[in-house]
Amino acid sequence: MWLMISRILATWSAAAALLCGAPKVVGGPVAVDVTARTATIVWVVQTDELTLHPPTGEAKKSPSLHVEKTTLTGLQPNTRYEYEAGGEGIKGSFKTAPATRTVPAATNGDTPTPAPVAPTPFQFVVFGDTRTRHDVHRRVMEALVKHGIPDFVVHTGDLVSDGNDSSLWPVFFDIERELLRQTAFFPSLGNHERNSKDYYDFFRVDTPYYSFNWGNAHFTVINSDFGSAASSEIARETFWTEQTRWLEDDLKASQKADFRFVVAHHPPMSAVTKRQEFNPHMVPLIPMFEKYNVTAGLFGHDHNYQHYLRDGVHYLITGGGGAPLYDVDKPVEQYVIKVASTENFVTIGVTGKTAKVQAIAIDGKILDEFELKAQ
């Protein structure tokens, strides 16, 4: 009798332990690598936790994180899908990209040529440098969500202050939860990601640079963090040479797109005095941007808002996602349109051959507003 009771108690104890130690979702779910026909849903679960007790100071908890994912195929273009993910049945949604526009072939004889199919309108939002001041980061996200959920998000890097610190990622995902569960997410590497494995795992990014299409626009995302790209100077230079070659090939192949956006963390110009000559690898890319008719470069790194126009290419710096603000004390006078030392995000709405851009401050006020024309 007592043996049976002992076994029952042991079974209950084991079940309780398993229940208490069950993985919990601490990141996402979020749709990444979204195209017109496919998408990958990822969510991050905490499977365990380690507590470090240093000789001095407070103990620090480091969660053990694991990525769950599923890839969806056979989707319809420009369609919103809803889903539930994880054992907790967490709900989310995303919208697939519009189908790439095709121009009907000309007909023979007197039959008129069909008119081209109009591109599907879409809207996306750009922001970056969300790594610190979590209360401010949260306020920026609240203002963004209040403004309206976009079709997708472009993050200009420095998601967290140290990409190798597992305790920081759940904080990032918690603050951006309402946004990320309703849209597609396309990130770029910042220097604070430190080229960490978690960045690649969490967002299903296979390489430090990649590109994607959305409707009549092409997006080229590169890794501007030269210092963390490899372990030696020779390897870093090799990486940069390979990436630059890929960048040119990608831009050359995208000339039929109405809009071409280049995304990177480090900007090639800056209004911050200490940043004026901080990243010499980005400045030499400017002639390539001009040669291949880049519509706009989207950058972060400087914790403020900056807008420049040089030889037909717009340069937008939106690094006001929460990190401590930098003064805009030395803008590049011959190209400057607008600079402001404030938290911000940028919305871009594309309709046909016109893209309306608005830079919006944390209080909801419009900092800058202009239009981009197809090239």
Q: Which two tokens stand for residue 371?
A: 């239009």
Say what the pLDDT of residue 184 is. Answer: 98
For residue 97, the surrounding DSSP H or E stretch is: none
- 7 in a structural domain: no
Strand order across the 313-318 sheet: 210-214, 217-221, 259-263, 296-299, 313-318, 305-310, 336-340
- 188 in a structural domain: yes
Say what the pLDDT of residue 59 is. Answer: 85
pLDDT per 10-residue tile (average), the chain, 375 residues:
41 40 84 97 93 86 92 97 85 94 48 64 98 97 96 98 95 97 97 95 94 97 92 93 98 97 96 75 95 98 97 97 95 94 98 97 97 93
* Contact (CB, 8 A) for 134 and 142: no
- 30 in a structural domain: no
Q: Which residues pair with 368 in a beta bridge?
A: 359
Say what the pLDDT of residue 112 is. Answer: 56
**What is the number of structural domains in the chain?**
1
Separation CA 229–CA 137 (nearest Å): 27
Write the CATH number for 125: 3.60.21.10
For 158, counting Cβ atoms within 10 Å of its Cβ (0-12 exposed, 13-18 middle, 19+ buried), the class is buried
Separation CA 314–CA 267 (nearest Å): 12
* Contact (CB, 8 A) for 359 and 126: no
Say what the pLDDT of residue 213 is. Answer: 97
- 66 in a structural domain: no
Q: Which two tokens stand for residue 198?
A: 């978690």
Is the preceding omega at residue 29 within 30 degrees of 0, hence cis?
Answer: yes
Tell me the whole-structure pTM to 2 decimals: 0.89
- 73 in a structural domain: no
Say what the pLDDT of residue 355 is. Answer: 98
Instruction: Provide the domain limits for residue 176.
Output: 119-373
Say what the pLDDT of residue 22 is. Answer: 61
* Contact (CB, 8 A) for 137 and 155: no
Sign of the C-alpha dihedral computed for residues 241, 244, 248 and 254 taken in this order: positive
- 296 in a structural domain: yes
Strand 24-32 with 184-187, pairing: parallel
For residue range 87-96, what is the model confidence (pLDDT) as tens digits?
Answer: 677 899 999 9
- 139 in a structural domain: yes
Residue with tokens 């501007």: 224
- 75 in a structural domain: no
Say what the pLDDT of residue 9 is. Answer: 39
Separation CA 219–CA 233 (nearest Å): 29
- Residues comprising the chain, all counted: 375
